[in-house]
Amino acid sequence: MLAIYKREFKSYFQSMIGYIFIAFLALFVGIYFMAYNLNGGYPYFSYCLYGSMFIFLVAVPILTMKCFAEERKSKTDQLLLTAPVRIVDIVVGKYLAMISVFLIPMLLFCFYPLVIKLNGTAYLKVDYTAIFAYFLLGCVYIAIGMFLSALTESQIIAAVSTFAVLLVLYLWDGLISFLPSNTVGTFLSGIMEKMELTHVFTDIFTNNLLSVSGLIYYISLIVLFIFLTVQSIQKRRWS
């Protein structure tokens, strides 16, 4: 697994994908930071993160589209599938490499609350909790994108399908509001509200509360999509 991780992590910086991903996140969050926190004087960095959550729709597909689709198209995945390496080690190694790339801009964001503190009042505990929740939410999205990349040999299809799924998740609250107010609609609304992904981050942003059950939900989804990715590749291995 370590060898897979090192190879994948290096590959993101041997190409432009790693640099584009980091620059994209840093640029847009930096713009929101200047607008809300520096110019607007708002003391919570969590507000900046909440406002910039839509960038996951573009950033995550950029990062995940090649992880399995590229190897499947070039047939280099056959080397991995026939190697004496467990499929789960391959998947986890690739996933940890993407998480490591994602962690780089997260570490950069950790300096922003300190900048706010240098210029006035800051709420470091809330802000760092928000950064942690933001990171976990991104990890969930990356796991989803990895799974979708494992289903196709086209990077474009992998990117577009990941964008479409993340768009639905981003608009989840709005979709709930379209449900009818009858018994069935109320029942579906209750289920969909529990499946909503951003509520953990919203609780931090609005109530300064960290939901432990929400964090468990995030981790469970990460494990689920890693498992689904493993099963998808395992099926192809024996077909």
What are the domain boundaries of the chain?
2-238
The pLDDT score that the predictor gives to residue 3 is 82
Secondary structure of the chain in HEC code, one letter for each residue = CHHHHHHHHHHHHHCCHHHHHHHHHHHHHHHHHHHHHHHCCCCCHHHHHHHCHHHHHHHHHHHHCCCCHHHHHHCCHHHHHHCCCCHHHHHHHHHHHHHHHHHHHHHHHCCHHHHHHHCCCCCHHHHHHHHHHHHHHHHHHHHHHHHHHCCCCCHHHHHHHHHHHHHHHHCHHHHHHCCCCCHHHHHHHHHHHHHCCCHHHHHHHHHCCCCHHHHHHHHHHHHHHHHHHHHHHHHHHHC
From first to last of its 239 residues, the chain has per-residue pLDDT tens of: 788 888 888 888 888 888 999 999 999 999 989 888 888 888 888 888 888 888 999 999 999 988 887 777 666 666 666 666 788 888 999 999 999 999 999 999 999 999 888 887 888 888 898 899 899 999 999 999 999 998 888 889 999 999 999 998 888 776 666 666 666 556 566 666 666 777 777 777 676 677 788 888 899 999 999 999 999 888 766 65
The per-residue pLDDT for 205 is: 67
Q: Could you tell me the pTM of the whole model?
A: 0.90
